[in-house]
Protein backbone atom coordinates (compact mmCIF):
# COMPACT_ATOMS: atom_id res chain seq x y z
CA UNK A 1 0.00 0.00 0.00
CA UNK A 2 2.91 2.38 0.72
CA UNK A 3 4.09 1.94 -2.90
CA UNK A 4 0.69 3.10 -4.16
CA UNK A 5 0.67 6.10 -1.81
CA UNK A 6 4.21 6.97 -2.85
CA UNK A 7 5.52 6.83 0.71
CA UNK A 8 7.30 3.47 0.56
CA UNK A 9 10.82 2.82 -0.66
CA UNK A 10 11.23 2.87 -4.43
CA UNK A 11 11.99 -0.43 -6.10
CA UNK A 12 15.26 -0.45 -8.00
CA UNK A 13 16.99 -2.78 -10.44
CA UNK A 14 20.56 -3.12 -11.63
CA UNK A 15 21.18 -3.61 -15.34
CA UNK A 16 24.34 -3.55 -17.45
CA UNK A 17 24.88 -0.21 -19.18
CA UNK A 18 25.29 -2.06 -22.49
CA UNK A 19 21.75 -3.39 -22.26
CA UNK A 20 20.31 -0.08 -21.07
CA UNK A 21 22.00 1.91 -23.85
CA UNK A 22 20.90 -0.54 -26.55
CA UNK A 23 17.28 -0.48 -25.43
CA UNK A 24 17.12 3.30 -24.98
CA UNK A 25 18.65 3.90 -28.42
CA UNK A 26 16.19 1.48 -29.98
CA UNK A 27 13.26 3.17 -28.22
CA UNK A 28 14.45 6.59 -29.40
CA UNK A 29 14.81 5.41 -33.02
CA UNK A 30 11.27 4.01 -32.90
CA UNK A 31 9.91 7.18 -31.28
CA UNK A 32 8.46 5.06 -28.47
CA UNK A 33 5.90 7.04 -26.49
CA UNK A 34 6.88 5.37 -23.22
CA UNK A 35 10.31 7.00 -23.43
CA UNK A 36 8.69 10.40 -22.87
CA UNK A 37 6.88 9.01 -19.82
CA UNK A 38 10.23 8.34 -18.15
CA UNK A 39 12.12 11.37 -19.53
CA UNK A 40 12.36 13.09 -16.14
CA UNK A 41 13.28 9.96 -14.16
CA UNK A 42 16.73 9.92 -12.57
CA UNK A 43 19.19 7.10 -13.26
CA UNK A 44 21.98 6.47 -10.75
CA UNK A 45 25.38 5.82 -12.37
CA UNK A 46 28.96 5.42 -11.17
CA UNK A 47 30.83 8.70 -10.74
CA UNK A 48 33.54 7.48 -13.16
CA UNK A 49 30.95 6.97 -15.89
CA UNK A 50 29.46 10.37 -15.11
CA UNK A 51 32.86 12.04 -15.62
CA UNK A 52 33.36 10.20 -18.92
CA UNK A 53 29.89 11.22 -20.13
CA UNK A 54 30.49 14.86 -19.22
CA UNK A 55 33.83 14.86 -21.06
CA UNK A 56 32.22 13.21 -24.10
CA UNK A 57 29.40 15.76 -24.07
CA UNK A 58 31.93 18.60 -23.99
CA UNK A 59 33.81 17.11 -26.95
CA UNK A 60 30.57 16.83 -28.90
CA UNK A 61 29.86 20.53 -28.33
CA UNK A 62 33.25 21.76 -29.53
CA UNK A 63 33.39 23.22 -33.03
CA UNK A 64 34.66 20.75 -35.58
CA UNK A 65 37.79 21.46 -37.62
CA UNK A 66 37.68 21.98 -41.42
CA UNK A 67 38.85 18.43 -42.22
CA UNK A 68 36.09 16.85 -40.14
CA UNK A 69 33.48 19.25 -41.57
CA UNK A 70 34.48 18.25 -45.13
CA UNK A 71 34.29 14.56 -44.23
CA UNK A 72 30.82 15.04 -42.75
CA UNK A 73 29.66 16.82 -45.92
CA UNK A 74 30.90 13.92 -48.08
CA UNK A 75 29.16 11.35 -45.89
CA UNK A 76 25.89 13.31 -45.91
CA UNK A 77 25.90 13.67 -49.72
Q: What pLDDT does residue 63 have?
A: 79
Q: How far is residue 5's CA from residue 67's CA, in Å, rounded to a whole number?
A: 57
Q: What is the mean pLDDT of each run of 10 residues along the chain (77 residues)?
A: 69 93 96 94 94 95 71 57
Residue spans per domain, the chain: 2-76
Q: What is the largest CA-CA distance in the chain?
A: 60
Q: What pLDDT does residue 9 have?
A: 84
Q: How far is residue 73's CA from residue 54's CA, in Å, rounded to a whole number?
A: 27
Nearest to 17 by CA among 60, 47, 58, 46: 46
Amino acid sequence: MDQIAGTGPKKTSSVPIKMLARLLLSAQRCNSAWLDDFADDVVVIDSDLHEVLLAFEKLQQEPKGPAEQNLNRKVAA
